Amino acid sequence: MLKFLLSRLLTFLPTFFGVTLISFAFIRALPGDPIIVMAGERGITEERHAELVRQFGFDRPIWEQYLDYLWGVMQGDLGQSFVTKKPVWDEFFALFPATLELSVCAMAFAVLLGLPAGVIAAVNRGKFFDRALMSTALVGYSMPIFWWALLLIIVVSGWLQWTPVSGRISLMFFFPQPTGFMLIDSLISGEKGAFASAVQHLILPTVVLGTIPLAVIARQTRSAMLEVLSEDYIRTARAKGLGPFGINGVHALRNALIPVVTVIGLSVGTLLAGAILTETIFSWPGIGKWMVDSIFRRDYPAVQGGLLLIAVIVMIVNLTVDVVYGFINPRIRKG
Amino acid sequence: MALLEIRDLSVEFATAGGTFRAVDGVDVSVDQGELLAIVGESGSGKSVSMLAMMGLLPWTATITAEVMRFDGHDLLGMSARQRRRIIGRDMAMIFQEPMSSLNPCFTAGFQIKEALRLHTDLDRRARHARAVELFEMVGIPDPEARLRAFPHQLSGGMSQRVMIAMALACDPKLLIADEPTTALDVTIQAQILELLTTLQQEQGMALILITHDMGVVAETAERVQVQYAGQKVEEQPAIPLFSTPRHPYTAALLAALPERATERRLPTIPGIVPGQFDRPPGCLFAPRCRFADDRCRSTPPKPASPELGLARCHYPLTHAAEAEA
Ligand SMILES: Nc1ncnc2c1ncn2[C@@H]1O[C@H](COP(=O)(O)OP(=O)(O)OP(=O)(O)O)[C@@H](O)[C@H]1O
Ligand code: SF4
Ligand SMILES: [Mg+2]
């Protein structure tokens, strides 16, 4: 196990350095001068500009700037945001719980609906439910997030007035946030209605962000189940006298989960990418919105650090998936 | 009264090319504690007829029968739920491919205890004790360790023993063994057959042994029923069947036994079992039969008298000498 982890960590190294390089180059490739953006409406004098250029080291050769940045990263220093002057690291982890909360809810939504839907579709292959579900999944999969979000906002928030349009909680509530997870903090706060408000705010972003993973998981579960259901051991399970739940929900699903877990792991990357758009649409104060804002402000350290941390998180998730995969697939658990 | 009685069983599959009759008017009858062998080449509907009885066929199959009765239960009028109470408890089945018949994601112990949990009210501890006892009974060394093993950690022979132990978990009255040794090494084959026949005698259960190997029949069976292209073509006790086969197909199968071969090459019956699209209008064996004439080719034969082994043939063999030919 330890050996496995180490070897996986080694394969992460090239990705890690690749991300530092790409994020460094990407933000600098965008036209626009961070110093001018920072100065904003007031403008800036020639001398002050030159001074700041020297201060930020923009006058040095680009490779030197990169090595400098890399050297900082190796020491765990992601630099300070140009805008807030706070360490990128702190900024990131102050906002991360909001993104994590949304992503976990979206994933839970996708898995809790996708798995049963895929199983039921496979068991009723070719019947009405199967066809309806698979066409819906295809639509869900190909629907642009942006459009889908606006549609939901218009119908659910606008016409039906069931959910708020943006933010994490109603402005009426104000309480300390020790964990950063609104669902938990609102419960701890003991304020009446706070938790319900937090849930209401979560619903639409969760649905929007979870739709594509939901479609992917449902389709993958269905096809994995169809494959597994024709296996000999399913016949053995039926020959024991097991009922539909024992056959489909235990014997078949357990095997079908093996490919599905891989897909779930892969959707985490998609999810974080989707979070950027979703958070922007719903003014959700998380990493995604922060990244977009930072890009517009040409906040080099924030963008570089943010992309790097997101990449590391995706790598950690993938590693976790590999470990989980080993647990649910006894054939590779050994060794 | 027979433990199992099936009369005029037919199974039709809905396929892309129309319906296909895989089993065509088969009768099966087995008494308590009896051993019946069902023989026939690949594709003769042996598995399908038994799967039909167990209720294990896919939904594309349409099953019809005049009588399908097991241990006083009418299998035909039974709901799926009622059948599940019998299946795996009083009537169990093991399959040709032991390695793929066990679920790779669960330990052998889980899979055998599952049957006990389903059909008995033993508690956890008692189920474990029973599982160990069953593993010992089927000759699995070090049962405690093997209960914790996953299927991929077991050999083919060991897997088949696990399958047998699982089938025997609730002391079934009937065990159906569908080519239980085909996928195994020759030495292991003999061991598994020996195990099955011993268990059949010790437990007093009935055993239906499906095989396409006449050699296996000779060693084990009391009564033999020969199936061809979905039909039962002959039925006799083992000894007369071997000395005086009545149906030309049986005779041909016997002549194909390696011990009886006169040449070096392993003899086989020329031709293949007719499939969905090449079923002859008359006797199904006619294209391969050396006695076939115009009547055979145009009119399907009816089963002959019991003295003639119920042979489904216009001209049942009457002389031992002919049979040898
Ligand atoms: N699900 C199915 N759909 C369509 N045809 C089927 C199905 N299952 C079996 N058959 C057909 O039914 C016929 C009888 O099959 P069966 O498996 O009973 O043969 P068998 O006598 O057991 O042969 P073997 O020795 O190969 O096991 C074969 O021609 C087979 O192709
Ligand atoms: S009916 Fe004719 S073709 Fe068929 S088995 Fe008998 S002799 Fe052969
Ligand atoms: Mg078969």
Please, are residues B225 and B38 in contact by the beta-carbon 8 Å criterion?
yes
* Dihedral of alpha carbons A49, A52, A57, A62, sign: negative
A159 domain residue, yes or no: yes
* Mean pLDDT value across residues B259-277: 67
* Of residues A238, A240, A255, nearest to B104 (C-beta): A255
The overall average pLDDT reported for chain A is 87
pLDDT value at residue B267: 56
pLDDT value at residue A262: 87
pLDDT value at residue A335: 40
pLDDT tens digits, one per residue of A275-328: 888 999 998 999 988 998 898 888 888 999 999 999 898 888 888 888 888 788
Q: How confident is the model at residue A266 (pLDDT cuts 50, 70, 90)?
A: confident
Mutate to test the pocket of ligand 2, among B232, B246, B315, B317 (most ligand atoms within 8 A of CB): B315
* Of residues B95, B101, B118, nearest to A241 (C-beta): B118
A83 domain residue, yes or no: no
Same domain, A161 and A196: yes
pLDDT tens digits, one per residue of A9-21: 888 888 888 888 8
Same domain, A124 and A251: yes
In the predicted structure, residue B12 carries a pLDDT above the cut 60: yes
Same domain, A49 and A158: no
Minimum Cα–Cα distance from A257: chain B residue: B105
Strands (E), A104-164: none
In the predicted structure, residue B158 carries a pLDDT above the cut 50: yes
pLDDT value at residue B323: 47
Amino acid letter at A262?
Answer: T
In this structure, the strands spanning B174-178 and B91-94 are parallel
In the predicted structure, residue B8 carries a pLDDT above the cut 90: yes
In the predicted structure, residue A334 carries a pLDDT above the cut 90: no
- Per-domain residue ranges of chain B: 4-228, 244-324
pLDDT value at residue B262: 54
**Nearest CA residue ID for atom 5, ligand 2:** B313
Q: Of A47, A74, A101, which residue is a domain's last?
A: A74
Beta bridge partners of A233: none
Interface predicted TM-score (ipTM):
0.88
* Of residues B95, B118, B150, nearest to A236 (C-beta): B95
- Atom of ligand 2 lying closest to residue B301 CA: 1
Same domain, A133 and A204: yes
pLDDT tens digits, one per residue of A56-113: 888 888 888 888 888 888 888 888 888 888 999 999 999 999 999 999 999 999 999 9
Q: How many domains does one find in chain A?
A: 2
CB neighbours (10 Å) of residue A303?
25
Q: Whole-angstrom Cα distance, residue A127 to residue A150?
A: 32
Please, are residues B45 and B23 in contact by the beta-carbon 8 Å criterion?
yes
pLDDT tens digits, one per residue of B61-116: 999 999 999 998 999 888 889 999 999 999 999 998 899 999 999 999 999 999 99
> What's the CATH code of the domain at A150?
1.10.3720.10
A54 domain residue, yes or no: yes
* Mean pLDDT value across residues A215-237: 94
The overall average pLDDT reported for chain B is 88
pLDDT value at residue A55: 81
Residue B94 sits at the vertex; the CA angle it makes with B140 and B89, to the nearest 5 degrees, is 90
* Dihedral of alpha carbons B285, B65, B78, B206, sign: negative
Same domain, A34 and A135: no
A86 domain residue, yes or no: no
Mutate to test the pocket of ligand 1, among B10, B11, B13, B228 (most ligand atoms within 8 A of CB): B13
**Nearest CA residue ID for atom 24, ligand 1:** B42
**CA of B179 relative to ligand 3 center, distance in Å:** 7
| CATH of the structural domain B4-228, one choice from 3.40.50.2300, 3.10.310.10, 3.40.50.300, 3.20.20.370 | 3.40.50.300
Same domain, A283 and A171: yes
The H-or-E segment that residue A232 falls in is helix A232-239
Residue burial B179-215, b: 16+ Cβ < 10 Å; e: rest = bbbbbbeeebbebbbebbbebbeebebbbbbbbbbbe
Mutate to test the pocket of ligand 2, among B314, B317, B318, B322 (most ligand atoms within 8 A of CB): B314
CA distance B59 to chain A (A): 11
Q: Of A74, A101, A127, which residue is a domain's last?
A: A74
Q: What percent of chain A has pLDDT over 70?
A: 99
Please, are residues A34 and A300 in contact by the beta-carbon 8 Å criterion?
yes
Q: Whole-angstrom Cα distance, residue B206 to residue B200?
A: 6
Regarding the beta carbon of B58 and ligand 1, being less than 6 Å apart is answered yes
In the predicted structure, residue B260 carries a pLDDT above the cut 70: no
Same domain, A65 and A38: yes
Same domain, A103 and A220: yes
Q: Which of A7-11, A75-79, A327-331, B240-244 has the highest mean pLDDT?
A: B240-244
Given an 8 Å threshold on Cβ–Cβ distance, is A240 in contact with B103? no
* Mean pLDDT value across residues B238-242: 90
CA distance A276 to chain B (A): 38
In the predicted structure, residue B297 carries a pLDDT above the cut 60: yes
Q: Whole-angstrom Cα distance, residue B26 to residue B17?
A: 24
Query: How big is the A-B interface in CB pairs under 8 Å?
Result: 71
* Of residues B92, B102, B152, nearest to A233 (C-beta): B102
Please, are residues B261 and B267 in contact by the beta-carbon 8 Å criterion?
yes
**Domain limits for position A24:** 2-74
Regarding the beta carbon of B45 and ligand 1, being less than 6 Å apart is answered yes
User: What is the DSSP code (8-state) at residue B286?
Assistant: G
Angle separating helix axes A194-229 and A128-142, nearest 10 degrees: 120
Q: Which residue has the higher pLDDT, B322 or A151?
A: A151
Q: Whole-angstrom Cα distance, residue B309 to residue B286?
A: 19
In the predicted structure, residue B321 carries a pLDDT above the cut 70: no
Exposed, middle or buried by CB within 10 Å (0-12, 13-18, 19+), for B279? middle
Same domain, A164 and A39: no
Same domain, A196 and A229: yes
Q: Whole-angstrom Cα distance, residue B109 to residue B154?
A: 12
Please, are residues B227 and B311 in contact by the beta-carbon 8 Å criterion?
no
Q: Whole-angstrom Cα distance, residue B112 to residue B122?
A: 13
Residue burial A312-332, b: 16+ Cβ < 10 Å; e: rest = ebbbebbbebbeebbeebbee
Q: Compute the residue count for chain A.
A: 335
In the predicted structure, residue A217 carries a pLDDT above the cut 80: yes
Regarding the beta carbon of B292 and ligand 2, being less than 6 Å apart is answered yes
Same domain, A233 and A328: yes
Same domain, A66 and A104: no
Please, are residues A290 and A302 in contact by the beta-carbon 8 Å criterion?
yes
Nearest to A223 by CA among A135, A132, A125: A125
**CA of A317 relative to ligand 3 center, distance in Å:** 46
